Amino acid sequence: MPKHFLTILDIPRDEARQVLLRAKEMKDNKVRTDLLAGKTLLLVFEKASTRTRVSFEVGVRQLGGDPVFITSKDSQLGRSEPLRDTARVLSRYADGLIVRTFGQEKLETLVEYGDIPVVNALTDEYHPCQIMADVLTMYERTPDLAKLKVAWIGDGNNMAHSFINGSVTFGYELAIACPAGYDPDPAVVDKAVGLGAKVSITRDPVEAATGAHYINTDVWASMGQEEEQKKREAAFTGFVVDENLMAKGAADAKFMHCLPAHCGEEVTESVFEGPNSIVWDQAENRLHMQKAILEWIYKN
């Protein structure tokens, strides 16, 4: 049976630690391998991307494989063919699917009807590759992840869901501050807490940020939510990560953002461009972590 990576919880805790260490080793030693030599991985993207596409294409090549990029505009993905049929066809052509799409159920259909590995490059529910890279970014500075407090300020979106799952796997405390009506999915929270995650939810960004070693946020209106922009701007008033909020964190607290950022909305430019911002390390670490995840999937 092929391995799949649909959420962080797909990797057992002990193996996730090894993936983390391997990503760090790959970064430090500029590792290139021929693990994927002779293999073709399809990047199936229904949502546009810069970092995800480039980091995966480069990563597949650095592991010796051949990436092929597909969008809904130039394939049957955006037309009438049932997804289950697409899954069965693509399984005959390629050795893996890296998928950036809308509903998580699409990935589950690809897994059910295909017989090659499926990697979640983003859905509306989860963004596990991003959070694994974020964990690597934190680990580089504070290796004892279980002693960390991480704050999430803003929407209880796919990023928040994957940070919640990351708390299960890596043991950090997670404090989430969301406006009313924008909480994470209770089922995601309940499952994680049941597995030992340390997660709290508040309406007060100051409460969440107080004592936090890493303070995270995301755009207020994600891809596909543009029509809600004005409504969300009103709802998220008071949830801006500014210098005052950063000052509530632990000494030398770091600012994180998955990008792209809207300076002047969810974060001030002074924080985004400031000395405690580590957003560019996060972006770079997508490449190294994704290579380590692919190695976990394909290495026997």
- Provide the residue ranges of all domains of the chain, joining segments of one domain with +: 8-127+287-298, 142-277
Q: Round to whole Å and give the CA distance between 229 and 148.
A: 33
Expressed in angstroms, the distance from the first to the final Cα of the chain is 12
Residue 66 counted as an annotated binding residue: no
Catalytic site includes residue 178: no
Q: Round to whole Å and give the CA distance between 253 and 115.
A: 44
78: pLDDT strictly greater than 70: no
pLDDT of residue 300: 79
pLDDT of residue 230: 86
Work out the pLDDT band at 223, boundaries 50, 70, 90: low
The catalytically annotated residue of 4, 22, 161, 286 is 286
CATH class of 142-277: alpha beta
pLDDT of residue 80: 76
pLDDT of residue 225: 61
Residue 51 counted as an annotated binding residue: yes
- Please check whether residue 292 is in contact with residue 27, taking contact to mean a CB–CB distance below 8 angstroms: no
Catalytic site includes residue 218: yes
pLDDT of residue 43: 97
The catalytically annotated residue of 62, 130, 282, 290 is 130
19: pLDDT strictly greater than 90: yes
pLDDT of residue 26: 98
- Judge whether 8-127+287-298 and 142-277 match in fold: yes
The catalytically annotated residue of 4, 22, 127, 161 is 127
The catalytically annotated residue of 10, 124, 218, 281 is 218
What integer is the mean pLDDT of 268-274?
A: 98
Catalytic site includes residue 130: yes
CA distances from 230 to 142, 185, 218 (A): 38, 23, 16
Catalytic site includes residue 100: yes
The catalytically annotated residue of 100, 161, 257, 288 is 100
Tokens of 280: 């560019």
Residue 218 counted as an annotated binding residue: yes
What integer is the mean pLDDT of 103-127?
A: 97
User: Taking all residues of the chain, what is their mean pLDDT, rounded to a whole number?
Assistant: 96
Residue 76 counted as an annotated binding residue: yes
Residue 100 counted as an annotated binding residue: yes
Q: Round to whole Å and give the CA distance between 110 and 85.
A: 9
Residue 233 CA, distance from chain mean position: 23
Residue 258 counted as an annotated binding residue: yes
pLDDT of residue 200: 98
Q: pLDDT digit string (tens) for 229-267?
A: 889 999 999 999 999 999 999 999 999 999 999 999 999
The catalytically annotated residue of 161, 178, 232, 258 is 258
CATH class of 8-127+287-298: alpha beta
In this structure, of 8-17, 37-46, 208-217, 222-231, the range with the lowest mean pLDDT score is 222-231
pLDDT of residue 263: 97
77: pLDDT strictly greater than 70: no
Work out the pLDDT band at 297, boundaries 50, 70, 90: very high
Residue 130 counted as an annotated binding residue: yes
Residue 129 counted as an annotated binding residue: yes
